[in-house]
Structure 1
Amino acid sequence: DLIKLIHDKQQELREYLNRRERRALKIHDPVRIKNLEKIIGHLDRLLVFLVPSGEGTYDEQKIASLQSILDQITAPENISFSSAWELADMLEVQLVRFGDDVYILTLLKALEASIDADEKSGMSSQNVKKADINGLLEGYFNGKFKEHHKLQEARQLLEYLLQAQISGYRRDRAKALLRGNYLRIIAASISVSIALLAIFFSLAEKGKNNPDYINYLILTVIFAGALGSILSRAIKLGKQPLDEKSKTSEETPLGIRALISWWKVFFAQPAIGAASALILFFVFYSGLVKIDELALGPSHYSVLGFLAGFSEAYFIGILDRVAGSTGGSLQ
């Protein structure tokens, strides 16, 4: 019995959420909890639409589709963040398929209001024209769509828009996960670079009398450059918006393919920063460029190495000065 199954799923989800509330020390995922509660709400609405009304039955394909989703709602404690979100969205599609005429009318009016709001704000986020909505609304009279095909067209339109929205949510979740993975790797790389930089800097600070002074100094500069390069990458990634509608941002949102390609570039990033820092070390150590007759030490070279890795413009600017002093130019 489908109605009994829905009741059972609601009860199972509610009991699970109640148990979680009693675990005060357990960390909660608010988005996952929100979607599980959303599932319960959608199931409750479906119960209303599935109660026999004497006006015919639903076709087997719709019932099979709903049954498939209900079969996936088992062991709530094992439903992941993404699955909870996905199941909630899929049940929203089921509401459109099973909803009565009044429910479909309500969704159409909400869509019409959304289009009006977008037009007033100068946006065009909906993939549907207002005239199409009006044509469907005109087919509704006295609690029913006068022609069955109008109701079917309305269902198809609403489901299409929902599926497009769900696809956008999936894309955003994938972007967020990619960025999260990327930032974790960056954080680990920064931590390692800082630790190694601190070690070699402390060894270089012991002075030039140390027979390994130059080796420690070079390693200090290398890790300073790697750190600068990684940090620069992290800052650029942090500025990237997830939403293409973020018109106030100067950065263009990265797509999934672009984010994936960043992984390959990232693994070369520390090496590029280290190489840039090492080249500038030779420039300043040899005296080709001087800073107000300042006697440079490990701390100065660390800062210069960091800047070389962090800023491409700074690195090229110094090289251009060297090229100019020898009668050449990088231009």
Structure 2
Amino acid sequence: MSHAVRELAAALLPDGRELTVRLADASDAATLLAVSHAAFAARPVHGAPAAALSDDEAAVGARLAAGTGYVAEVDGEAVGGAVVVPLEGEPCLTRVGVVPALRGQGVATFLVEVIGEHRADLGEPELTLLARADHPDVVERWRRVGFATDGERAGHLLLRRPLPLVARAADADAMRTLGRRLAGLLRAGDLIIASGELGAGKTTFTQGLGAGLDVDGPIISPTFVLARIHPPRTGGPTLVHVDAYRLGDAAELEDLDLEESLADSVTLVEWGTGVAEGLASDRLDVDIRRGTDPDDETRWVFVTPHGDRWDRARLAAALEEDA
């Protein structure tokens, strides 16, 4: 199989060069080994040397045979890699590394995002990984990209990250329909953080959500007033619609006193990523993306449930196009 067929995603580095991520096969064992050794040898040493430095080509080949490898490339040269292998029946991310020359360019973050979306397409609910407890700086980096601690194993922290469910919205009407279907699962106290570029469809999604909750409208972007309150027409919860685009951080969000209404409302925060997560540990992240063709109205909606509040099977059913 050619590398072109196995390419999963592409992005631009800050210097304009193209970064791609592709699936690996058995022939990539030496490539992944070289990337891993370069990456882990450059890291500060705390305690015992990194286990990755003891790998040989046979060990990498065995992981590829048992799981799935991923290679990040710039101009055809491997600059990053990772392997997902089974850990007690769950997909476990391991040997994530980026060569020192590309550190700080967003390669690792993009690689992990692509891997997460690929695993979500396979129907997997979450990624796990083991991070050494004596490397708190590394653990903190994983937490910044959505992983949370779920126990400890032999000097390692077990980290988990929920994976998104994916829906397709062919046009604005389909986006509103998607919002109405998700509204059927909501109750007072629920928090939704909606992200996506300008014009992606966040407000359109919220209009559907409001229709499903049967609240007073009209629902328009609250960019300048920051928050709009839509009371229910019947006996359901109020919809609090917030636009955090003009807010700098979580401290500015606190000035809106959303905690006062959170328990009795469904709260949706546009542009809330990195700002609104502290409002509730149980939440839905809704990331809306458009394709590369400007004439195509299709949007891809990635819905990631956080916490025990959400039934993943019910969410998946609500996202089905023929639901």
TM-score category, normalised to shorter length: under 0.3
Name the structure where strand makes up a greater proportion of residues.
2
TM-score, normalised to structure 2's length?
0.26
With the length of structure 1 as denominator, give the TM-score of the two structures. 0.26
